[in-house]
A and B are shown apart, each in its own frame.
Chain A
Amino acid sequence: MDEMIKVGMADLKVCPFPNAITTLGLGSCVGIAIYDPISKVGGLAHVMLPDSTQIRNNSNRAKFADTGIMDLIDLMVKAGATRNRLVAKIAGGAQMFAFSGQSDMVRIGARNVEASKLKLKELGVRLLAEDTGLNYGRTVEFYTETGDFIIKSVGKERKII
């Protein structure tokens, strides 16, 4: 590994081999790592909301699961990935506060996860693994050398998916 590329909230980046890419402290947001195992081009999107068509102010495409995933894949293909080889791993979508009820706000983490999966499926990207839901934050790291997606949380064992 040469470099650890950092992705912020409502942000996405391509990660060329042999680098790794990370986003710190995913809460209700979802981190979507996409990877071409042959060219070893990777990428990571950190999306906050499920659906750009539901929001009037939607110019920041990296903020939404639907447009974020689409843009990340386009950038990866430009960087040498082959579209029909792409696979994905996702993490995040937690419910950070124990709100009661079933309002949109309560379910936002779960909705982000559902929307991400739906978009991946629509674009023919196979979902290999996920670590989603529950009630704690996650820092994730994706390694293009191995395809490992590492998940770190407070007071929990490091997980590799």
Chain B
Amino acid sequence: MSKINLDEIDSLHYDVLKELGNIGAGNATTALSQLLNMKLDMKVPKVDLVGFDKLASSICDEEELVVAIYLMLEGDIEGSMMFMVEKKAATCLVNQLMGRPVHDDRDFDEMDLSALQEIGNIITGAYLSSLSTLTRLTIAASIPYMSIDMAAAILSVPAIEFGKIGDKALLIETQFGDEVLINGYFILIPELASYDKILASLGL
């Protein structure tokens, strides 16, 4: 039996997951700031276990358009992770990278899409590498898969993965920005056995 049950988690394990979320999100923000060559302030991330019924609505309107990057994880930690931003925010990020006015609202062309994919790659890569350093566990990520659609539809994918082990998902919300504030969401979905490995690696 695994040590962790996400539906009835004890406060120590919750704090550990929270801290991993904080550190990962912090590193991801630094990487993004370097990529965009701009100063990004980050607020303390909010880490929460959210029931499926409120997963989408706790983030934004269920039908809000979002951009999401999804990766499969292999190695010591198995499972998957997702990074998601509202499409409006993703547009600002791409505009910044492409040297356009930040609020230029336009549809993504091929170039923008591959820029977005790269942004997602760098953010998730930084997140995972900090997690790997901290736990001294090997994490290999698949290529990033991207999707742009309604928030609830996108969130169904991680929710289903969590659904196999419980009724809640671990959601990490970070807010970063300078002139524009951007909300980014990380969802980390280790297999149950991997939770135990993470805790064991930290001596718990």
Interface residues of A (CB under 8 A from B): 8-11, 24-29, 48-49, 55, 57, 60, 63, 94, 96-99, 105, 108, 135-139, 154
Given contacts A57-B7, A57-B165, 8 further A-B contacts (CB under 8 A): A94-B153, A96-B149, A96-B154, A105-B80, A105-B161, A137-B153, A137-B154, A154-B65
Cβ contact within 8 Å between B167 and A27 = no
Q: How far is the CA of A139 from the CA of B63 in the complex (A)?
A: 8
The 4 closest A-B pairs by CB, nearest first: A137-B153, A25-B152, A27-B156, A27-B153
Cβ contact within 8 Å between A25 and B157 = no
Chain B residues in 8 Å Cβ range of A11: 53
B52 at the interface (CB under 8 A from A): yes
> Helix, strand, loop or mixed for chain A's interface?
loop
A25's contact among B54, B146, B151, B163, by CB below 8 Å, is which?
A: B151
Interface residues of B (CB under 8 A from A): 7, 52-56, 62-63, 65, 68, 70, 72, 80, 145-157, 159-161, 163-167
Cβ contact within 8 Å between B149 and A9 = no
A9's contact among B56, B63, B146, B150, by CB below 8 Å, is which?
A: B56
Measured CB to CB, the closest approach of chain A to B41, in angstroms, equals 31
Looking at B149, B153, B157, the one whose CB has the most chain A CB atoms below 10 A away is B153
Measured CB to CB, the closest approach of chain A to B151, in angstroms, equals 6
Chain A residues in 8 Å Cβ range of B160: 28-29, 48-49, 105, 108
Q: How far is the CA of A11 from the CA of B160 in the complex (A)?
A: 13
Chain B residues in 8 Å Cβ range of A135: 147
Give the A-B contact count at a CB cut-off of 8 A: 108
Q: How far is the CA of A98 from the CA of B143 in the complex (A)?
A: 11
Chain A residues in 8 Å Cβ range of B7: 57
Cβ contact within 8 Å between A97 and B56 = no
Chain A residues in 8 Å Cβ range of B55: 9
Cβ contact within 8 Å between B149 and A26 = no
Q: Can you sample 25 A-B contacts with CB below 8 Å?
A: A9-B53, A9-B155, A25-B56, A25-B152, A25-B155, A25-B156, A29-B156, A29-B159, A48-B52, A49-B160, A57-B7, A63-B163, A63-B167, A94-B153, A96-B156, A97-B147, A99-B72, A99-B145, A108-B160, A137-B149, A137-B150, A137-B154, A138-B153, A139-B150, A154-B150
Measured CB to CB, the closest approach of chain A to B148, in angstroms, equals 8
B163's contact among A10, A94, A137, A138, by CB below 8 Å, is which?
A: A10
A96's contact among B65, B153, B164, by CB below 8 Å, is which?
A: B153
Cβ contact within 8 Å between A25 and B153 = yes
Q: How far is the CA of A99 from the CA of B71 in the complex (A)?
A: 9
A136 in contact with B156 given A9-B55, A24-B56 (CB within 8 Å): no
Chain B residues in 8 Å Cβ range of A94: 153
Q: How far is the CA of A98 from the CA of B147 in the complex (A)?
A: 8
Chain B residues in 8 Å Cβ range of A8: 52-54
Looking at A48, A60, A137, A138, the one whose CB has the most chain B CB atoms below 10 A away is A137
Cβ contact within 8 Å between A27 and B157 = yes
Chain A residues in 8 Å Cβ range of B166: 57
Beta-carbon nearest neighbor of A138 in chain B: B153
